[in-house]
Amino acid sequence: MATTKTRKASATKKMTATEATQFDTYSVTNAATVETSFEDCGCEAYIDCFTYNRWKALGYQVQGGQHGVKIPAIKNIEKQTDDGTVETRRLFRYVVVFCRHQVEPVKSPIPSDRPIGELLADLGV
Cβ distance to Zn ion smaller for residue 57 or 103 = 103
Cβ distance to Zn ion smaller for residue 22 or 63 = 63
**Dist CA 125 CA 83 (whole Å):** 53
Cβ distance to Zn ion smaller for residue 50 or 123 = 50
CB 40 within 8 A of CB 48: no
What is the contact surface with Zn ion in residues (CB under 5 A)?
38, 41, 43, 99, 101
Residue 26, classified by CB atoms within 10 Å of its CB into exposed (0-12), middle (13-18) or buried (19+), is: exposed
Tell me how far, at minimum, the Cβ of 98 lies from Zn ion, in Å: 9
